[in-house]
Amino acid sequence: MIEFLLLQAMDGHNVHVSKAAIISVSEPRKIGRLGTDKSNCIVGLSTGKYVAVIETCESIKKRMKEE
């Protein structure tokens, strides 16, 4: 069974991300230009893409362990 996390992108859209596809979560200031003033976390995906989200990295890590 594929498990998904529901995250909110910077433009307000919901993003469903497979837990198996998440390879990293990083604070925006550590990534550089990918972060915005509103982003709290940058999620790195196995596809090589990144998603800036409003959730904190800590909350994403916690949800990945719980769900």
Three-class secondary structure assignment of the chain: CCCEEEEEECCCCEEEEEHHHEEEEECHHHHCCCCCCCCCEEEEECCCCEEEECCCHHHHHHHHHHC
pLDDT of residue 39: 83
Residue 16 has pLDDT above 90, yes or no: yes
Q: How confident is the model at residue 32 (pLDDT cuts 50, 70, 90)?
A: low
Asked whether the predicted pLDDT for residue 43 surpasses 70, the reply is yes
What is the average per-residue pLDDT within 25-39? 69
Q: Is the pLDDT of residue 47 over 80?
A: yes
User: Structural domain boundaries of the chain?
Assistant: 4-66
Residue 52 has which token pair?
A: 């800036």
Q: Which residue type does 57 have? A: C
pLDDT at position 37, please?
A: 63
